[in-house]
Amino acid sequence: MSAIQLRHLTKTFGDFTALKTMDLEIADGEFMALLGPSGCGKSTTMNMIAGMEEPSSGNILFGERDMAGVPMGRRGVGFVFQNYAIFTHMTVRQNLAYGPRMRGATKAEIDRRVGAIAELLQLTPLLDRKADRLSVNILQRVAIGRSAIMEPAIFLLDEPLSNVDAAFRAVMRTELKQLQRQFRQTMVYVTHDQLEAMTMADRIAVMDHGVLQQVGTPLEVYNNPANVFVARFIGAPGMNLLKGRPAQSDRGLVIDLGPLGITPPLPDELATTLRAARGDVLYGFRPEQVALAPDRRGLAMPVTFVERIGARTIVHLGEGEGTVKAVFDNDVGLSIGQTAAVAPTAAAVRVFDAASGVAMKAG
C-alpha cells in the first residue's frame, strides 16, 4: 500500500495543455475518483501515475519515492483498462499467471498464487475457460485479479464500467467497492460518471480543462461546490444558478435577480460575506432543495416543461438565462403554462462570484 502525491504535475502535448499544475494527495488505502468530462485531463493524470506517459513537469511520489524515470513495469501499479485488456488468446488461469510468469516465478509459486487469487475472486471454476467468452463482470474480476496477483501498492482503474450496460452497472459498482475493501489498496478511479464517483469514492477530484477544480468527499463536493463548474457538473440536474446583485431589503440581505424579482433573504453567515462583495453574483441552489412557496414570496416563474420520472418530478421553470429546475418527490400538480412560485431551502443556498465563478464562503 502506498500514498500518492502529485506535485505541480503538468502535461503538454505541443501547444495543448492537457494538465495544468495539478497538486493532489491521495492517502494510503484511499479510493479516489478523478471525475470530469472527456478531455479534462483525468486519463492523462492516470497514465502519468502508471508511467505510460512522462510528465512535462512536476513530480509523482509513491510514499516518499519519486517515480520520475521509473518504467511502468516497475512501478508496482495495477491497471484496469477501460475494456479490461484481457489476453483473449489465453485461459483465465494464464491471464492470472501472466505477471508472475513474466517475472520468472516458479511453477509451484505461480500455482499457489493463482489458486489464492482465484479463490478470493470466485474464479476457481472458470480457471480453464478461454478468456474470450466471458461475461463482463467476470472480465472485470479477471482484470482485477491479474493485477492484484502482483500485489500492487496502487490500483488504477480507467473507466472500467463505461462499456457495461446501464442495468448491470449497479451490480458492478457494488462488486468493485467490495473488492476494494478486500484488497485495501490505494485506488484511483477515472470516470466521467458522477454516480460512480459519488457511490464508490472516498474522495472525488473534480477536473475540467486540465485544471483540478475541487477535491472533497462526495457530499462536500455535492453540497459545497468550490466553483460554478463543479456546481453545474455535480448533481443531475446540476445546480441552478441565477445572475443577480446583492441588495438590502427590510427583511435582510437579498439578491436582486432583475426581472425575476427578489430572492428570499440570505442566511446571516452568507449575508456577512456578501456585504463586503462587489459586482454581480450567481445565486445557486440545488434542484432537490426547492419548495413551492404558496405565499408567493419565492421566485414566480412560468412552468415550461414537466418531466415525470416515476419517483421524482423535474419541473423546468423560466426561459432564457433565468431558467431553474426543481425536483420534487411527488407529482406537485404543475403543468406547462402555469406560474409557480419556488423558494430554495435557506440553508441550501450557495453564492458564487459572477466574474470568477468561485464560491463565496459563508462567514
Partner 1 sequence: MDARTKPALRDEGARLGFRLTLPAQILVLFISAFPLLMQLYISVTDWSPLSGLGWWNAWEMWNSFANYTDLAADARFWSALKRTAIVMVVCVPAEFLLGLALATLFADDFPGKRIFYSILLMPMMVVPAVAGYMFFMLFQSGGPVNDILSSLTGSPVTIAWLSDPTLALIAVMIADIWQWTPLMFLILLAGLVGVPEDQIKAATLLGANPWQRFTTIVLPKMKTIIVIALAIRVIENFKIFDTLYIMTGGGPGVATETISVYIYKVTTQDLIWGYVAAIALAILVVLSIVAVFAMKRMARTKQVAA
Q: Residue numbers of the site for partner 1 (CB under 8 A)? A: 50, 52, 72-74, 77-79, 81-83, 85-90, 98-99, 102-103, 130, 132, 146-147, 150
- DSSP-derived pairing of the beta strands 31-35 and 203-208: parallel
CB of 97 to partner 1, least distance (A): 10
For the record, the C-alpha cell of 115 comes out as 489458486
CB of 36 to partner 1, least distance (A): 22
Closest to partner 1 by CB, 12 or 83: 83
Q: Which amino acid is at 192?
A: H
Closest to partner 1 by CB, 147 or 263: 147
Helix, strand, or coil (residue 318): coil
**Tally of residues, the chain:** 363
Q: Which residue has the cell 454516480?
A: 195
CB of 149 to partner 1, least distance (A): 9
Closest to partner 1 by CB, 102 or 171: 102
For the record, the C-alpha cell of 314 comes out as 423535474
Closest to partner 1 by CB, 102 or 347: 102
CB of 140 to partner 1, least distance (A): 14
Say if residues 6 and 60 touch (Cβ distance below 8 Å).
yes
CA 10 to chain centre: 21
CB of 273 to partner 1, least distance (A): 48
CB of 195 to partner 1, least distance (A): 25
Q: By C-alpha distance, which of 260, 224, 266 is closest to 246? A: 266
Closest to partner 1 by CB, 61 or 150: 150
Element (H, E) at 46: helix 42-50
Residue 329 is given by DSSP the state: S
Residues 6+ apart with CB under 8 A from 294: 341
Closest to partner 1 by CB, 105 or 314: 105
Strand partners, 59: 7
**3-state helix, strand and coil shares in percent for the chain, rounded to the nearest 5:** 30, 35, 35
Cis check for the bond before 237: say yes or no (omega within 30 of 0): yes
CB of 88 to partner 1, least distance (A): 8
Closest to partner 1 by CB, 148 or 340: 148
